């Protein structure tokens, strides 16, 4: 039981929830975030295309378009301050016949103009010069130079780390199971029995944000899951940009994109389903990806895939982002229905949520001592680096202990992998997992088993120290 009353509790540790936490950590506020998984970035934020979209194709006048527009101005500073791997490679929407060219001219160019996103037409030779692997059926392409790729995990982790450095508290590994309304606020009840009292709640629970909403009797929207399957390849593909298809009336189609750490992503599918947890891949889904992508890059079937995975989009019944106070209680702000562009729009969403909280009565007084930049936490001096733990990827003990001592330390092997790259090599962890488990034990994970993923309860409370 927590006695202190928080100003704001954010529910959900995806890219949206953590972006909001970071933003709120710049003010004199007592804030916390609750995430049911043992780490941040375990939902849609973990499995997406990693593209920073400009919003050129977002519905004009939508909240999504507004958040993407605001984010365009914020990303350059964010990538620097938060040390997010980022490549401003640009994207092209490829027309493979005159009909597709006409769709671009009649629909996408005016749409981009309405949203203030810069686009320009490239002729066939310009497209092939920059992207020789593109189909020779190409008649031209819409260039969207502002599109970029980034690492979604670092974005989410860095948002959370900066917030923790500024004093935010994280409750990981125990989901919210109920919310009671109390005088001037709420009591948030976690699976493990803990209760957090707070004046305001932000609902950023992704595909479960409708469940969270119902905890206070708000049934104003529903969220349904839409799966997207991907293929990851490390083959050389002779493209330098994100290659987008012209969407049809039925589907947005599948794209081919460079990945910020190397390799290329093919996908995703768009499959409506009932199950919010089903992230399985299927032969049909992978075939759909290949059929879509070969229209853009004819060689795709020749490439070996190193991994196939799927993510779940949160499709909202309202058709747009839901960022507003609940009809049931104005101190409960939704940041829900963030379907396809939440990584790109996260800086703008955080701004809008802060404004909504302020309109609902929360005082936002700037904390002039708050950090806006992630410090360089790794001391790579020889004595700190130590033995090599992951032989395949040459990851040292120092790199793993550095992750363990960071503001948001891992509690699972997967968490170590995502922060350091250990276990990702050829042996897939066969050699290094036992040593990683030992290091996790050294850092106080006193359970007999350290999970690969799974649930671990932890509280991280920092200004100056951590408790778990």
Ligand X SMILES: Cc1cc2nc3c(=O)[nH]c(=O)nc-3n(C[C@H](O)[C@H](O)[C@H](O)COP(=O)(O)OP(=O)(O)OC[C@H]3O[C@@H](n4cnc5c(N)ncnc54)[C@H](O)[C@@H]3O)c2cc1C
Question: Which residues of this chain interact with ligand X, rule CB under 6 A?
Answer: 11-17, 34-37, 42-45, 48-51, 53, 175-176, 204-208, 212, 228, 268, 311-313, 338-344
Distance of alpha carbon 210 from alpha carbon 203, whole angstroms: 9
The residue behind tokens 């990693």 is 50
Strand partners, 310: 229
What's the longest Cα–Cα distance across the chain? 66
Nearest approach, Cβ of residue 318 and ligand X (Å): 15
Least distance CB 419 / ligand X (angstroms): 17
Contact 34, 171 (CB under 8 A): yes
Q: Which pairs count as long-range contacts for 83-86, CB under 8 Å and 24+ apart, including other chains?
A: 83/154, 83/158, 83/374, 84/150, 84/151, 84/154, 84/155, 84/158, 85/150, 85/151, 85/154, 85/260, 85/261, 86/52, 86/148, 86/149, 86/150, 86/151, 86/260
Residue whose CB is less far from ligand X, 96 or 156: 156
- Minimum Å distance from CB 205 to ligand X? 4
Q: Which residue is associated with the tokens 């500024």?
A: 166
Q: Which is nearer to ligand X, 36 or 393 (CB)?
A: 36
Those residues whose C-beta lies under 8 Å from the C-beta of residue 24, and which sit 6 or more positions away, are: 7, 8, 10, 31, 163, 168, 354, 357
Q: Is 228 helix (H, G, I), strand (E, B) or coil?
A: strand
Q: How deeply is 17 buried, as exposed, middle or buried, from its count of CB atoms within 10 A (0-12, 13-18, 19+)?
A: buried
Q: CB 204 → ligand X: shortest distance, Å?
A: 5
Q: How far is the CB of 70 from ligand X (least distance, A)?
A: 14
Nearer to ligand X, 44 or 392 (CB): 44
- Closer residue to ligand X (CB): 157 or 313: 313
User: Helices 152-165 and 413-420 sit at what angle, rounded to 10 degrees?
Assistant: 100
The 3-state secondary structure of 418-450, one letter per residue: HHHCCCCCCCCCCCCHHHHHHHHHHCCCCCCCC
CB of 380 to ligand X, least distance (A): 31
Complex with ligand X: residue 148 or 300, whichever CB lies closer: 148
Radius of gyration of the chain (CA): 22
Q: What's the Cα-to-Cα distance from 177 to each of 125, 189, 215, 277, rounded to whole Å?
A: 57, 6, 8, 17
If the CB atoms of residues 13 and 253 are measured against ligand X, the closer one turns out to be: 13
Q: Of 208 and 303, which CB lies nearer to ligand X in the complex structure?
A: 208
Residue closer to ligand X (CB basis): 48 or 241: 48
Cβ 362 to ligand X shortest distance, Å: 21
In the complex, the smallest distance separating the C-beta of residue 280 from ligand X, rounded to whole angstroms, is 14
**Cβ-based nearer residue to ligand X, 173 or 398:** 173
Chain centroid, CA 357 distance in Å: 22
Angle 387-389-394 (CA atoms, 0-180°, nearest 5)?
90
Q: How far is the CB of 283 from ligand X (least distance, A)?
A: 18
């Amino acid at each position: 039981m927590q006695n202190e009353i928080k100003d704001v509790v954010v529910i959900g540790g995806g890219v949206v929830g953590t972006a909001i936490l970071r933003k709120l950590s710049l003010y004199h506020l007592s804030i916390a975030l609750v995430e049911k998984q043992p780490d941040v970035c375990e939902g849609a934020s973990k499995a997406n295309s990693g593209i920073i979209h400009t919003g050129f194709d977002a519905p004009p006048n939508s909240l999504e378009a507004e958040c993407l527009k605001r984010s365009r101005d914020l990303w350059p500073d964010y990538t620097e301050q938060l040390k997010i791997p980022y490549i401003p490679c640009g994207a092209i929407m490829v027309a493979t016949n005159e009909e597709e060219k006409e769709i671009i001219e009649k629909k996408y160019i005016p749409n981009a103009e309405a949203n203030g996103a810069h686009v320009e037409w490239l002729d066939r030779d310009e497209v092939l010069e920059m992207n020789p692997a593109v189909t020779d059926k190409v008649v031209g392409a819409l260039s969207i130079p502002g599109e970029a790729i980034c690492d979604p995990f670092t974005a989410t982790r860095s948002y959370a780390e900066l917030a923790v450095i500024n004093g935010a508290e994280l409750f990981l590994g125990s989901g919210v199971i109920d919310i009671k309304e109390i005088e001037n606020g709420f009591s948030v009840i976690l699976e493990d029995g803990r209760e957090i009292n707070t004046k305001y709640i932000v609902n950023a629970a992704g595909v479960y944000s409708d469940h969270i909403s119902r905890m206070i009797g708000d049934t104003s929207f529903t969220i349904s899951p839409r799966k997207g399957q991907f293929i990851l390849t490390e083959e050389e593909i002779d493209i330098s940009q994100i290659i987008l298809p012209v969407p049809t009336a039925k589907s947005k189609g599948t794209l081919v994109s460079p990945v910020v750490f190397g390799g290329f992503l093919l996908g995703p599918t768009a499959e409506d389903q009932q199950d919010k947890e089903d992230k399985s891949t299927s032969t049909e889904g992978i075939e759909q990806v290949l059929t879509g992508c070969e229209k853009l890059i004819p060689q795709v079937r020749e490439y070996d895939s190193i991994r196939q995975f799927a993510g779940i989009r949160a499709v909202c019944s309202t058709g747009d982002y839901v960022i507003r106070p609940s009809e049931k209680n104005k101190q409960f702000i939704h940041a829900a229905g963030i379907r396809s562009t939440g990584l790109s729009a996260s800086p703008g969403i955080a701004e809008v949520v802060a404004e909504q909280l302020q309109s609902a009565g929360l005082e936002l007084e700037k904390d002039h001592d708050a950090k806006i930049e992630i410090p360089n936490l790794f001391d790579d001096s020889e004595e700190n680096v130590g033995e090599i733990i992951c032989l395949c990827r040459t990851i040292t003990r120092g790199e793993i202990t550095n992750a363990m001592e960071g503001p948001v330390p891992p509690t699972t092997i997967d968490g170590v992998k995502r922060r350091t790259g250990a276990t990702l090599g050829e042996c897939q962890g066969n050699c290094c997992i036992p040593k990683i488990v030992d290091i996790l034990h050294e850092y106080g994970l006193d359970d007999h088993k350290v999970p690969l993923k799974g649930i671990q309860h932890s509280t991280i409370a920092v200004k100056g120290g951590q408790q778990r």
